[in-house]
Structure 1
Amino acid sequence: MVKPDIIVIGASAGGVEALTRLVNPLPGDFPATLFITLHFPSNSISVLPQILNRRGHLQAVHPQDNEVIRPGIIYVARPDYHLIIKPEQIQLSHGPRENAFRPSIDTMFRSAAHSYRRRVIGVILSGSMDDGTVGLALIKHYGGVTIVQDPDEALFSGMPRSAIERVKIDHILKVADIPSMLIQLTHQPIQQEEIMVDEIAKESEIVAQHKADLEQGKHSGSASMLTCPDCGGVLWELQEGNLLRYRCHVGHAYSVDSLLEQQGNDVERALWGAIRALEEKAALARRMAAQARTHHRALSESQFLQRAQEAEQQAALVRQVILQQMETH
């Protein structure tokens, strides 16, 4: 008999406060290993291990690539690297973003589920959007335990609510109640199933196999009319239970919510680009009007001024569309 000893925790906006409150009560002899993915900007420096070390009894670190997993340690994903949990060791990956994030919670959760099955406890804390939902569903599928912070308590309820709506969650708790639940679960023996080596695959191998299957017609999804916001490739629509998601051949993956968010960002960038182009057109037209005036070409001056006015009016309309879009969000 073994006990659950792999705890994966995902958080985003509002997650630092929740993480410190969760880690602080855990005892120094806690028998499990904790893995944390918190969304960070790619070019940022994470001081989360230092924060957790000041607040709790367990050592928190940024792992090195291929570092051996040790019990009683908190491994925090580095900015711009996926944290992939393999049997007995950690792999850092600069692979494709998932849900527009690197590190991605889904990537970490999925790797833990493939490698440790029933020994995994998955926890979703405060955050926007829905990163972690697909990975939590896989943990549940393989017999692991799923825990979600009470959305009414979370500073940002998007991630907890998404998980609750799409996955049969074992425990919905306030953060203050999660540590005692983890202590209880890590002392309960479970029936360990044998894991076949060929079922344990790192992220890049999963993506490569998926691409090969698609090329040979062995796929459960179909090519959509949508393109990947990251690379412009075709997105394949994949249905996994009640979860719909999209993945391109390169490996970028999106849930419906994250894809909508990225498309909205693309539209906004395109509109700001249109404003820039229109304002440049207006500036050039006014420059040509001034030159025409210098050469006493009144008709040309009038035509250029009219073009400038039309471009400025169009830019104002596009700007109004962007502002209205911001107000709706």
Structure 2
Amino acid sequence: MKRPQVIKKPGQISKIVVIGTSAGGLHALTTLISQLQQDFPAPILVVQHISADAVGNVLLDGLNKSGKLFCVHAENGMELAPGHLYLAPSDHHLMIDQEGKILVTKGAHENRSRPAIDPLFRSAAVAFGSKLIGILLTGYLDDGTAGLKVIKRCGGICIIQDPKDAEYPDMPRNALNQLEPDYVVPLSEMGSLLEQLVAMAPEASGPVPEDILIEAKIAARVLSDLTSVNALGNQVPFNCPGCGGVLWQVDEGPALRFRCHVGHAYTSATLLAEQTKKMEETMWTALRMFEERKNLLTTMAKGQKGAALQSSLERAKLSEVHIGRIKAILLANDKGTGSDIPT
């Protein structure tokens, strides 16, 4: 039976590993964790995209059965311990505070997800700098790419699963299109690579860039003001799908990323996917209202004569035209991109 190891203080932890994954994550995580030994000398924190109404026990049980690490759901205030794996609970972000303890919050969704990968990667980079190893595995869209960039900027090591090895290659491929990682490897080689990397002495960490600190504080709900977000970029003529507020385009190079002052954050791909979802919801509502209008006009026409009858029938026919147009749009299944699939 696996036993919890002795808790070490944050300053005593020489390396820390963070992992992000989405679709296909159950297989990928169990395959990776099965390669690590019980005395693995670093704590591991994992974000797997999961629906808000799930409890995550299937993944947690699978990790405990397939590997030798001590795997638990993360709880707010926990101290990190080597040989332990901390899994983000459903509908909560998993982060690390600047004292090196676990932070579990109900903050705003990032990239349509809670838990999301970027908040974990960002907060861990701020807290641990060059001691951090970030891993991005299989999944849809591009959550985790911005987080890996932050890890690189803070001196950490970035590992991406080879897209050819990933069950769902979108996340690894999108990350590779936007940054140069330290390693791109299949799952079968990742365990031995981790063992080598955690045994190496970390380089000295430099100061954390101000924009990274601001975003980390916003995600942790320490900051929520216009001045802070204005420092990150410029307002754009798009509304936040999460709260309806104004969005700012974050200035970080060619990759488009957006954030509102409440804390919602999107890459261009996830913003497009969320807009598509909202549009589809609106279309279904409009379809229902037009069908109700047609049915009411048809019912009214049964008791009418003359001009009133003709007017009701014409208005019902016009409603039928609108119904046909809306159905045609919905049946076209235009998702905007090939990857706008909820995770």
Q: Which residue of 2 aligns with 1:65?
A: 76
Structure-1 separation of matches of 2:224 and 2:126: 15
The answer for the alignment partner of 2:26 in structure 1 is 16
Kindly tell me: are residues 238 and 207 of structure 1, through their superposed partners in 2, closer, same or farther at Cα, counting changes over 3 Å? farther
Deviation at 1:103, TM superposition (A): 0.5
- 1:190-216: CA deviations, max 9, x gaps? 2333768x997854477654735358x
TM alignment of 1:306-317, pairs within 5 A: 306-317=314-325
Question: Map of 1:227-266 to 2, 5 A cutoff?
Answer: 227-266=239-278
Answer yes or no: is the 8 Å Cα contact 1:3–1:189 preserved in 2.
Answer: no
> How far 1:105 moved relative to its partner?
0.1
| 2:40 maps to which of 30, 39, 48 | 30
Partner of 2:17: 7
Asked whether the 8 Å contact 1:4–1:185 carries over to 2, the reply is no
Write the distance in 1 (CA, Å) between the matches of 2:307 and 2:206: 85
- Alpha-carbon distance in 1 for matches of 2:217, 2:21: 20
Deviation of 1:100 (Å): 1.1
* Same amino acid, percent of matched pairs: 35
Question: Match for 1:211 among 200, 225, 233?
Answer: 225
Q: Cα distance 1:187–1:219, how it changes in 2: closer, same or farther (>3 A)?
A: same
2:86 aligned residue: 75
**In structure 2, distance between residues paired with 1:245 and 1:193:** 26
Q: CA deviation at 1:325?
A: 2.8
Residue 2 of structure 1 and its aligned partner are, at CA, apart by 8.5
Cα RMSD for the two superposed structures: 2.3
For residues 39 and 60 of structure 1, what CA distance do their matches in structure 2 show? 17
Higher mean C-alpha deviation, range 308-317 or range 101-110 = 308-317
CA contact (8 A) 2:139 2:169 kept: yes
Question: So what's the TM-score if we normalise by structure 2?
Answer: 0.88
Counterpart-to-counterpart distance in 2, 1:200 and 1:270 = 37
Q: For 1:254 and 1:129, how far apart are their aligned partners in 2?
A: 11
Cα distance in 2 for partners of 1:3, 1:65 equals 19
Whether the 8 Å CA contact 1:2–1:189 is kept in 2: the answer is no
Q: Secondary structure at the match of 1:40?
A: coil
> Aligned AA for 1:38?
Q
The range that moved more, 121-130 or 242-251, is 242-251
Aligned pairs for 1:112-261 within 5 A: 112-193=124-205, 203-204=217-218, 209=223, 211-214=225-228, 219-261=231-273
CA contact (8 A) 1:84 1:203 kept: no
Are 2:308 and 1:300 aligned? Answer: yes
Give the AA of the match of 2:225: K
Letter of the structure 2 residue corresponding to residue 83 of structure 1: L
Code of the residue aligned with 2:31 in structure 1: it is R
Whole-Å Cα distance in 2 between the matches of residues 305 and 94 of structure 1? 52
- Are 2:281 and 1:269 aligned? yes
Structure 1-normalised TM-score? 0.91
Structure 2: runs of 5+ lacking an equivalent: 1-10, 339-343
- Once the 2 structures are TM-superposed, how far is the Cα of residue 327 of structure 1 from its aligned partner? 7.9
> Could you say what secondary structure the match of 2:124 adopts?
helix
Structure 1 residue aligned with 2:114: 102
Residues in 2 aligned to 1:137 and 1:21: alpha-carbon distance in whole angstroms: 25
The CA deviation at 1:253 is 0.6
Report the Cα offset of residue 34 of structure 1. Answer: 0.6
What secondary structure is seen at the aligned counterpart in 1 of 2:258? Answer: strand
Q: 1:278 to 1:142 in 2, by over 3 A?
A: same
* Count of aligned residue pairs for this structure pair: 322
**How many Å separate the matches in 2 of 1:194 and 1:267?**
44
The partner residue of 1:45 within 47, 55, 71 is 55
What SS does structure 2 have at the residue aligned with 1:146? strand
Shift of 1:85: 1.2
1:84 and 2:98 aligned: no
| Counterpart Cα distance in 2 of 1:10 and 1:135 | 10
SS in 1 for 2:302: helix
Q: Displacement, 1:244?
A: 2.3
Which of 314, 323, 333 aligns to 1:325? It is 333
Distance of 2:30 and 2:204 partners within structure 1: 31
Shift of 1:242: 3.5
